[in-house]
Amino acid sequence: MKKKIFIDPGSFYTKVCVLHQDEGEAAYKLFGRSFFPTAATPAPENADRVICHEFGEKRYLVGGDCPNERWDFCDESLAGAQRNKLIGSLVLRKVLFDYSDSGDEVELSVVVEGPAKRQVFEELCASMTGKLEVVAYRGPQKIRKIVELGVRVGPASDGVTGYVAKIKSKFDSAMFIDIGFASTKMYVVSAQHGVEKFAITEIGARFYSDAIMRALKEENIEDVEPYWLMKQVELGRKSIEVASKQLDVSLILENARWDTNKDFRRIATDFVTEYYNTTSKWVGLLVITGGGALFNGELLSASLAESGYKFDDIYIDKSPLYTVLEGLVS
């Protein structure tokens, strides 16, 4: 079977969209889509009931609830580079194993933001083109699939223009703000020219879990998995149980929301003002997406209006998992 697999490996979740081509038909149809945490943990000794993937001489569970290996492209140390390569490789292995079968002809497209992440995936994908053995393990059992693979690594901006056109078929230009877990990406998208301006800054939704972590340290509670903590924030929990204690985090989250918005408003106004000063053009559509849109989308939109930045239309996507992929496959 011929398949197209699109991967968006974010800092918090990896999103996957799969298309397939039925025999005798030219068009591709949606086969399925899913997501999993972009992280891994060493496989337990007794792993007979779960699928594990190998890197080097070690086996890992990929995408678990409380993983202890996550990438961080702000960490420029040798250990950080090795960890990023580990996670990138495991993500690719999991996706290919989960969504392909022996004999499939697969076109794999990986979309990334930032030069550091792109370099990791380009290096990993360089040797994957052609006939590829995809291997996973369930206990001592080795499960093997053979696929014919073609790979492309491209910028996430490839999907941004398509996504904006999907939510508004006729637009002149748009400011697209993607509030991710570890960073925020900003684009100015033109219907005629595509992405005209791009910036990425290390401010993201993790600010919320970081604020709770600081409060926990004041209570002498430090052994908390940050990924698990961010999941509690994402689920809207106002109270969490840690170390047999119930902690009310509602005030912490509300304060974090307002503090974070000061940074979001600053970087957004600086970005769009610089675009206007350079081009003498204004953008008519504001799109706010990413995991942080749920927490700060409406507040950011309102604060921009209060600062005098007016848009003809505003769209806030509070369920943004497949934003970039939707733009690619639409």
Cα radius of gyration (the chain) = 21
According to the model, what pLDDT value does residue 10 have?
86
Rounded distance, CA 280 to CA 90, Å? 46
According to the model, what pLDDT value does residue 53 have?
93
Q: What structural domains and CATH numbers belong to the chain?
A: 2-155 (3.30.420.40), 158-204+252-320 (3.30.420.40)
According to the model, what pLDDT value does residue 192 have?
86
According to the model, what pLDDT value does residue 309 have?
93
According to the model, what pLDDT value does residue 134 have?
93
According to the model, what pLDDT value does residue 219 have?
81
According to the model, what pLDDT value does residue 121 have?
92
According to the model, what pLDDT value does residue 330 have?
64
Rounded distance, CA 226 to CA 156, Å? 26
H-helix segments, 55-175: 78-99, 115-125, 157-167
Which residues does 176 contact at the CB level (< 8 Å), separation at least 6?
160, 163, 164, 186, 187, 188, 189, 287, 289
Please give the DSSP secondary-structure letter assigned to residue 289. Answer: E
Write out residues in the chain with pLDDT < 70, as ranges: 65-69, 73-74, 320, 330
According to the model, what pLDDT value does residue 65 have?
65
Rounded distance, CA 19 to CA 233, Å? 32
H-helix segments, the chain: 78-99, 115-125, 157-167, 206-218, 226-234, 250-279, 293-306, 323-329
Rounded distance, CA 328 to CA 246, Å? 43
pLDDT, tens digit, 9 for 90 and up, residues 144-197: 999 999 999 988 888 898 899 888 888 899 999 999 888 899 999 998 888 999
